[in-house]
Amino acid sequence: MNPPTPYYGLLAEFETPQAVLKATRRARREGYRVMDAYTPYPVRGLGAALDVPRTQVPFVVLAGGLVGAISGFFMQWWTMSRDYPFNVGGRPLNSWPVFIPIAFEVLILIASLSALFAVLFLNGLPRPHHPVFNVPRFTEASQTGFFLCIEALDPRFDPEATRQFLEGQGAKEILEVPHGAP
């Protein structure tokens, strides 16, 4: 498969979170859309600057919690009052108050598993290989570096103009991100 662009994008490294935030906002005002920022901790405002849509994670967790609570309760109701009715101390077969604790635990369990899988799935992880990893300097993204990558797929992308734009934002260094080992 031949990638449609000669390289993945241009990666600019900045010294401070303020600089990468400013550059991202400017890039967006310039019309760039296919881009991402990489920072060693979550920087306030970067998501808004990249116009990241509201995440779906809470809805997945809510759905997981509802499924957990209903199935946890149903499991007890069905086994205790339908499949194997068993009189314990004259309590009603559907003695629902004592089914609440387990329904609650299953709610938490399924909701938490949903949160784990939602964040991994929506983030496209696990994905051990990605073009940005081809830049040796990118190891700093998990330590002290603040990066902005404008991808070549962006309709506004132009190898020269984009590079000049990033230089104008005070980038410490601008690196080409290759697609990967040929």
Separation in Å, CA 156 to CA 4, 46, 92, 108, 162: 15, 21, 69, 46, 8
Q: How far is the CB of 70 from another protein (least distance, A)?
A: 15
Question: Which one-letter DSSP state was computed for residue 31?
Answer: T
Q: Is 80 helix (H, G, I), strand (E, B) or coil?
A: helix
Could you tell me how many residues make up the chain? 182
Q: Is 146 helix (H, G, I), strand (E, B) or coil?
A: strand
Among 26, 28, 34, 47, binds another protein (CB under 8 A): 47
Query: Which of 6-14, 56-64, 156-164, 174-182 is the region at the interface with another protein (rule: CB under 8 A)?
Result: 56-64
149 DSSP β-pair partners: 11, 36
**Among residue numbers 123 through 182, which ones bind another protein (CB under 8 A)?**
123, 125-130, 132-133, 138-144
The binding site for another protein (CB under 8 A) comprises: 16-18, 21, 24, 36-47, 50, 52, 55, 57-58, 61, 65, 75-76, 79-80, 83-84, 86, 88, 91, 95, 98-99, 101-102, 104-106, 108-109, 111-113, 115-116, 118-120, 122-123, 125-130, 132-133, 138-144
